[in-house]
Homo-oligomer: A and B are copies of this chain.
C-alpha cells in the first residue's frame, strides 16, 4: 500500500477481511445496523450506489420488453403451500403476520420471501390464450428471509431486489428467457460494476426451490471467496400446475404455461465493495460511483480562496460545456475542514479521481489529479482535464475490470484430487476447477468436510473426462468449487 494513503481508521483488508468489510460499510456510511435484528439501514451513500445499479439494470430489463409492476407484500399461507418443493425450501425462513387491525387473523400471512406463489395465483386470471403470452413482468421490492447469521448487504433478513417473473407458451421460449435474464445481470455486473463473472448452471442441490434448473453468475471477491451475483430460474410448468395457469394454445389445446423468474439484490453493493476495495476503503467503478471526481480547494488567505474558486468554476464550466462532460458527477468539497480530512473522507468512499487545486496550481493553470485505485499523482492543465475527463473515467472503469479479471485468473486453479482442493482452499484459497461425478452425495460430503460448494457448472467448462474427486466416479467436465458468501 503506497504511503500516500490517508485512511488509517479501518482494519487492513489483508489482515482481517470480514473486519475490513464491516469497517468500510460502517465508516464510509454505506449502511448501519438497525434496532431490528438482521435488518439494515441503507444510508445515502450506499443507497446512491444501489440506485445506480438499479437504474442500469432497469434500463436493460425494460429494453428487453419487461414491464415493471407491483404485487402484495403478503402471501397467504395456503398459497405458499401450493408448490411443494418451494414451500419446503422457504418455510424455515418465513416471517409470519398473525395479528392485524387489532384482531387475530384467520389465515397467517407470510411476508414474501420471493413472489412466485402470489404471482402464480394472480396471473391465472390474466392468461387465457397464447395471445396473452409471453407475459414479461418485473418487480422492484423488499423481501424477508429470516437469517440466522447476517452480514450487512450480503445476507440480511430484509433486502431490496428486483424479481422478474415471466410466462411463456413454450418450453423453448422459457429457456430463451432464462438466458435473457442472465444476460441483463452479466451486463450490469461486468459493464457497470466492473465485476467479472462466471456464468453457469447450479447443481440440483443448489437450484431454486421449485425450479427445473437455475443459472447463475459467480464472482470472485478480494479474499478469493465466491459470491453469487444473480440467478435466473427455469420454473418449467411447476408453478403453473400448482396454481392452475392454463392457456388455450394455437392448436386449440389447453396447456400449462412455462415460467421463469430471476433476481438481483442489494448484496451486489457488497460485491462491489469486496471486488474492488483496498486497505483504504472503497474503490468505486466510475459508472456506479455517486461522485466520480471530487475537487478539493486548497487555500489559506481569502484572496487565495477567491482565486481557487475562480479556477474551479472555470473547470466545472468547461466540463459542463459538452454533453459527456456534463454527465460527469463532480463534487466540489467546500466544507470547513482541512484538506487532509477531505482526502481521507473521499478516499474511504472510493471516489475515482481527486482534483486538488491550490494557489500555485491556479498560477500554473493546472490541478493535481490523484487516481484512487493506484494513487498516482499527475499535474494536469485544467482545461485539458475538463476535455479528457469522460475518457479518463472510461479508462479507469476498464482498468478496474481488467484488474479484477487478472486477480481472478491468478487465483483460479485446477484441482484433480480432494487433497489438492482442500489444501488449496486452506492455503491461498481461490476458485478450483475440479472433476465431479454429478452425485449430490459427493457434493454434500465435500461441503461438510471442507466448507466448499459447487458454485456452478460453468458454461465454458470444456468436455474433459476425469475422476470425481470424492468418489472416483466418472466426470464429464470440471465444475467450479469455492468457499462462498
Contacts and interface: CB of A to CB of B under 8 A. Distances in A.
A479 to B, nearest CB: 31
Given A36-B109, A121-B35, A122-B35, A70 B98 contact: no
A298 interface: no
B70 A47 contact: yes
A51 B102 CA distance: 33
Interface string A132-175: 00000100011010111000000000101000000000000000
Contacts of A68: 44, 47-48, 51
A178 to B, nearest CB: 21
Interface string A96-114: 1111111000001101000
A74 interface: yes
A39 interface: yes
20 contacts: A32-B122, A35-B121, A40-B72, A41-B71, A41-B72, A42-B70, A47-B68, A48-B68, A51-B68, A70-B160, A74-B158, A92-B102, A93-B101, A95-B99, A95-B100, A96-B97, A97-B111, A101-B146, A101-B148, A142-B142
A253 interface: no
Nearest to A126: B32
Nearest to A103: B146
A405 interface: no
A48 B70 contact: no
Nearest to A105: B95
Given A35-B76, A73-B158, A137-B44, A100 B96 contact: yes
**Within the oligomer, what is the number of copies of this chain?**
2
A122 B92 contact: no
Contact of A69 (B43, B69, B75, B147): B43
A31 to B, nearest CB: 9
Nearest to A40: B72
Counting chain A residues whose Cβ lies within 8 A of the other chain, the interface size class is 35 or more
A87 interface: no
A322 interface: no
A44 B67 contact: yes
Contacts of A71: 34, 41
Interface of A: 32, 34-36, 39-44, 46-48, 51, 67-76, 79, 91-102, 108-109, 111, 118, 121-122, 125-126, 137, 141-142, 144, 146-148, 158, 160
A48 B69 CA distance: 8
B72 A39 contact: yes
Nearest to A135: B44
Given A35-B76, A70-B160, A98 B96 contact: yes
Given A36-B75, A44-B67, A44-B137, 8 more contacts: A35-B79, A35-B118, A36-B76, A39-B73, A47-B70, A96-B100, A99-B108, A100-B146
Contacts of A79: 35
Contact of A70 (B41, B73, B94, B146): B41
A259 to B, nearest CB: 17
A343 to B, nearest CB: 19
A92 to B, nearest CB: 5
A268 B212 CA distance: 41
Contacts of A46: 69
A334 to B, nearest CB: 14
A224 B387 CA distance: 57
A39 to B, nearest CB: 4
Nearest to A44: B67
A153 to B, nearest CB: 11
Contacts of A97: 95-98, 111
A43 to B, nearest CB: 6
A147 B101 CA distance: 7
A73 B72 CA distance: 14
A311 B96 CA distance: 58
A130 B122 CA distance: 51
A91 B41 CA distance: 24
Contacts of A96: 97-100
